[in-house]
Amino acid sequence: MLLSLVVPCYNEEQALPLFMEAVAAVRGKIDASLEFCFVDDGSTDGTLALLRELCRKHPEEDIHYVSFSRNFGKEAALYAGLEMAKGDYVVTMDADLQDPPSLLPEMWEILTDGTQAYDCVATRRTDRRSEPPIRSFFARAFYRVINRLSSTEIVDGARDFRMMSRQMVEAVLADREYNRFSKGIFSWVGFHTKWLSYQNVERSAGASKWSFWKLFRYAVQGILAYTTIPLYISSFLGIMLSGISFLALCFIIVRAHLWGDPVAGWPSLVCILTFLGGLILLSLGIIGLYIAKIYLETKKRQIYIVREQQ
Ligand code: UDP
Ligand code: MG
């Protein structure tokens, strides 16, 4: 049997050699041949050169790579890697050893123990200790919000470290949307998934590619891709406010008839106007975000562009 390792790499020249070592250390425990599918996501350091060298130096190994024409993001890289993989089982993992290769034998056992009970082994980390507190706070808030709003479950702390059967990989590949959110897609396609937990591991070398804003955009993207409930919320708010202002109007008319209106109430008017204006803009903004997604989706843009491959 063949197990494909799909590894997105963006400026990972320092981490890659460590990754190869760590995999070499566990491969004896996996009863399959390995195929390496690296995706160089437009790295600006020596990652591509390193990948070329890996292929050249180890002709006995089944190593392939594609290199993108620019940085398309991890989601696109994962997609390209899954397309490239030929294995009966495919595992997606980061190059920085934050997805510990030492878990691979256990994942492999679970999937291939002959009972066919699971199609996928997914992993989640159980703590966020090494993270800045503010980042953990927003991460938690994100998972709470999205799971309230969406019927597709997005597991808190889930990593993109998964081993999947060929059948599941085909299902994920069939979903050719441009605005990709893997955590959602993996959950949406279903199949029997076994969850493994592990302690968070520090990055082995190099730096994280995620800034706070990049993560924020990723979170918004996830919510937009997996629920339309924000649209309902803005309509609901609109109806509520119209109702309230209608009642207030009746009240004011009656009061003015009974007692007159001695004070010109412009401050309250301004407050109400700006409040309503804000809400209208918010609702338009939410609608706009969805339209933007529709726009990008209808363009049927390529998910990635390959510059070099082997
Ligand atoms: N990555 C990528 N393209 C990007 C950003 C990241 O292919 O635009 C890869 C990166 O090389 C690594 C994985 O995605 O293998 C996870 O990235 P990182 O370790 O920076 O994220 P973190 O672990 O900090 O969430
Ligand atoms: Mg990492």
Reading the chain (310 residues) residue by residue, the pLDDT tens digits are 899 999 999 998 888 899 988 988 888 888 888 899 999 998 998 899 999 888 888 888 888 999 999 999 899 999 999 999 998 999 999 998 888 888 899 899 888 887 878 999 999 888 777 777 888 888 888 888 888 888 888 888 888 899 999 999 999 999 888 888 888 888 888 888 888 888 877 777 777 877 888 888 888 888 888 787 888 887 888 788 878 877 887 887 788 788 776 666 766 777 788 778 877 878 888 888 888 888 878 887 888 888 888 8
119 lines ligand 1 (CB under 6 A): no
Q: Which residue matches tokens 């396609």?
A: 189
234 lines ligand 1 (CB under 6 A): no
Residue 117 CA to ligand 2 center (angstroms) comes to: 30
204 lines ligand 1 (CB under 6 A): no
* pLDDT at res. 169: 93
Strand partners, 162: 92, 122
Distance CA(270)–CA(224), nearest Å, equals 33
Contact 5, 35 (CB under 8 A): yes
67 lines ligand 1 (CB under 6 A): no
Strand partners, 91: 5, 163
Residue 91 counted as domain residue:
yes
Structural domain of residue 33, as residue ranges? 2-227+302-309
Residue 203 CA to ligand 2 center (angstroms) comes to: 5
Ligand having the closest approach to the CA of 160: 1
Task: Find, among 159, 284, 152, the residue nearest to 223 by Cα.
Answer: 152
10 lines ligand 1 (CB under 6 A): yes
Residue 90 counted as domain residue:
yes
What count of Cα atoms within 13 Å lies in the side-chain half-sphere of residue 273? 6
Distance CA(83)–CA(221), nearest Å, equals 23
Distance CA(303)–CA(79), nearest Å, equals 8
- 0.95 cut: is pTM over it? no
* Domains of the chain: total: 1
Residue 234 counted as domain residue:
no
Please, what is the angle between helix 212-226 and helix 266-298, to 10°? Answer: 80
Residue 246 counted as domain residue:
no
Q: Is the dihedral angle over the CA atoms 35, 187, 293, 274 positive or is it negative?
A: negative
Ligand having the closest approach to the CA of 43: 1
* pLDDT at res. 292: 83
Residue 270 counted as domain residue:
no
Residue 257 counted as domain residue:
no
Q: Which one of 94, 180, 304 would you pick to mutate in the ligand 1 pocket, going by the greatest count of ligand atoms within 8 A of its CB?
A: 94
Distance CA(125)–CA(200), nearest Å, equals 5
Residue 288 counted as domain residue:
no
Residues 6+ apart with CB under 8 A from 138: 215, 216, 219
Burial label for 263, CB within 10 Å (0-12, 13-18, 19+), is exposed
41 lines ligand 1 (CB under 6 A): yes
Residue 28 counted as domain residue:
yes
8 lines ligand 1 (CB under 6 A): yes
Residue 113 CA to ligand 1 center (angstroms) comes to: 31
Residue 121 CA to ligand 2 center (angstroms) comes to: 19
Which atom of ligand 1 is the closest one to the Cα of 93?
A: 15
The enclosing H or E element of 40 equals strand 33-40
For atom 12 of ligand 1, the residue with the nearest CA is: 94
Q: Residue 32 belongs to a domain with what CATH number?
A: 3.90.550.10
